[in-house]
Copies of this chain bind each other. A is one copy, B any other.
Amino acid sequence: MRRFNCDYSEGAHPRVLSKLIETNLEQTEGYGTDPYCAEAAGLIRGICAAPEADVHFLVGGTQTNLTVISACLRPHQGALSADTGHINIHESGAIEATGHKVLALSSSDGKITAAQVQAAYDEHYNDDAREHAVQPKLVYISNPTEMGTIYSKAELTKLSETCRRNSLILYMDGARLGYALCARGNDLDLPAIAGLCDVFYIGGTKIGALFGEALVITNDSLKPDFRYFIKQKGGMLAKGRLLGLQFIALFDDDLYFEMARHANAMADIIKDACIKKGYPFLTESVTNQQFPILPDRVLSNLGEKYEYSFWQKAGQARSAVRFCTSWATDITDVQALAADILDS
């Protein structure tokens, strides 16, 4: 049985693990104040071309999202998000538990548009009794989205302009950011994202680290006291250097992007097989998550050899599922899966 149900089935890329092994007995300060975290932060500022950015390392995505969003908002403010957004449906109400409403915007492909944001903003401020509603203040996007789609530079630029014109904070959840940046058709890069967003994170957990997310804050007003929020929300790792070390391994050469390219290429093999076979897709994903719609009979057969994620029913005897690849995906396994799809 091979797992294609998610991109965190294995441990870490061996070079990440090596970094932990070789430094294991060194003594450093705790809580992320060690030299390795400083070095990793410097590397990330460098590749983001954001020399003034604050970089913090957290353990996981939900933790990062709830820490960032609660730090950015005052009590009466909420976060605009696609209704498919991770914070809206897959974090057990983590944002609400910090006191803030997620203001869901309808989305079929996981993305939201500048026009939707502007409309939500206008609807709020055009209401004379607006203090009876939650004030939109932060825009949450994920790139790639939970549906595998990506934002173009033009789309992100429009979102950014809309946010800045209206004093909204633009936050990008980059749990799988590498896959987006290495996707076919992508025209964004880290410096562009650092320039257009107020705060974003570069995900490690789902791209080759044991765990860890690198949070980049470029908006000066969001920087003060951020370490308090990390501590309060339970995200400050005692042996914080474990995070710094992993991000050094990911970014001191091209490893992070190398892994992402591999995963995307593996996903393309699955995608191509589905296309050849004439199976439709739930969304036009260009990243390592593919959402084909397959007959339940076919799924049942595939399920004997491969793990995938059920996504949703899609008509009579058909279902949308997710196939997911990673740095660790073996081409032989993918080719076997593709062949079985074609034979289905």
**Residue A20 lies at the interface, judged by CB distance under 8 Å to chain B:** yes
Mask of A4-17 contacts with B, CB within 8 angstroms, 1/0: 00101111101001
A212 smallest CB distance to B (angstroms): 10
The binding surface of chain A is classed by DSSP as loop
Q: How many copies does the complex hold?
A: 4
Q: How far is the CA of A337 from the CA of B20 in the complex (A)?
A: 29
A232 near B129: Cβ-Cβ < 8 Å: no
CB A214 to nearest CB in B, in angstroms, measures 16
Whether A236 and B60, one on each chain, are in contact in the complex, defined by CB atoms closer than 8 angstroms, is: yes
CB atoms of A10 and B31 under 8 A apart = no
Expressed in whole angstroms, the Cα–Cα distance for A102 and B225 within the complex equals 19
In the assembled complex, A71 has its CB within 8 A of some CB on chain B: yes
Contact of A30 with B6 at beta-carbon distance under 8 Å, contacts A92-B133, A134-B92, A211-B242 already known: yes
Q: Which residues of chain B come closer than 8 Å to A74, judged between CB atoms?
A: 71, 74, 225
With most chain B CB atoms within 10 A of its CB, the pick from A30, A231, A242 is A231
Residues of A participating in the B interface, judged by any CB pair closer than 8 Å: 2-3, 6, 8-12, 14, 17, 20-21, 23-31, 59-64, 66-67, 70-71, 74-76, 78, 89-94, 96-102, 104, 129, 131-135, 205-206, 210-211, 225, 227-239, 242, 328
